[in-house]
Structure 1
Amino acid sequence: MALQGKYKAVMDAANAGGVTNLQVREQDGVLYVDGVAPSAAVKEQVWQAYESANPDFRDSDMVLNIALAEGAEEIYTVKAGDNLTTIAKKFPGLSWRDIYEANTDRIKNPDHIQVGWELKIPRK
């Protein structure tokens, strides 16, 4: 129950954004949160709430699995401090290379991305 308090802002963001099939369960000291976001923007808001509660994703006490509703396009806007590896960590099953390859029209060097760029996030 303590983890649900720690990550209350994540659940609030999911509920406010209209995440469907929201399931929250705590098991063996880990909070598991699953659901389906209606848009990439809502999914990003949920991830931002998670990052605020767990800067740099150092704690390993939460598994956040928010899928994107079918047909919704997934776009991520690069923020200060981002690199392709940290962005990929927000999308289970993706590597930095997957994101790079989906955006070779914009990214010439994977070590140099710019704040404000909108990157396509491929589906796996």
Structure 2
Amino acid sequence: MSLQDKYAELIATGNTLGIANWQVREQDQVLYLDGTAKSTADKDKLWEVYGKLDPDFRSADVVMNIAIAEGAVREYTVVSGDSLSKIGKAHGVSWQKIYEANTDIIKNPDIIQPGWKLKIPTA
């Protein structure tokens, strides 16, 4: 069984998600998957499928080099005790960028509420 057969679901998921510049190649008993995801969520979906196929990631027969498109956003759910600066520090982006990306939700940058789903821009 080739690695492309073994990981057919992972390859199909990349195709379905529309991973840009999606390249799949086998070399020296390793499957290389390269491309650019539209979002962090899409990249995470690829890792979820891979984790399902190789739960402990012990096979060491896949290398995924998946970048995230510039301007992509992640989603974060505010929890009690959060502030924009704390969230920004955790995600490597300024609180101002988070505020600007969420002016439809946040009216005052000093007041955010648990449960809000904020867009976190990539750096």
Using structure 1 for the length normalisation, give the TM-score.
0.59
Query: Separation in 2 of the partners of 1:2 and 1:11?
Result: 13
Query: Separation in 1 of the partners of 2:15 and 2:76?
Result: 21
Q: Deviation at 1:75?
A: 5.1
Given the alignment of the two structures, is residue 66 of structure 1 paired with residue 54 of structure 2, yes or no? no
Query: Separation in 2 of the partners of 1:74 and 1:45?
Result: 13
Match for residue 109 of structure 1?
none
Q: Deviation at 1:56?
A: 1.5
* Closer/same/farther in 2, CA of residues 41 and 33 from structure 1, 3 Å limit: same
Given the alignment of the two structures, is residue 102 of structure 1 paired with residue 90 of structure 2, yes or no? yes
Contact 1:44–1:76 (Cα < 8 Å) also in 2: no
Query: Separation in 2 of the partners of 1:76 and 1:25?
Result: 34
Identity %: 49
TM-align CA RMSD:
2.9
Match for residue 93 of structure 1?
none
Query: Separation in 1 of the partners of 2:22 and 2:43?
Result: 12
Using structure 2 for the length normalisation, give the TM-score.
0.60
- Write out aligned runs for 1:51-90 (5 A): 51-74=51-74
* Closer/same/farther in 2, CA of residues 17 and 56 from structure 1, 3 Å limit: same
Of structures 1 and 2, the larger Rg is shown by: 2
Q: Deviation at 1:73?
A: 2.3
Consecutive unaligned residues in structure 1, runs of 5 or more: 78-100, 104-117
Contact 1:20–1:37 (Cα < 8 Å) also in 2: yes
Q: Deviation at 1:76?
A: 8.0
Moved over 4 A (4+): none
Count of matched residue pairs: 87
Match for residue 87 of structure 1?
none
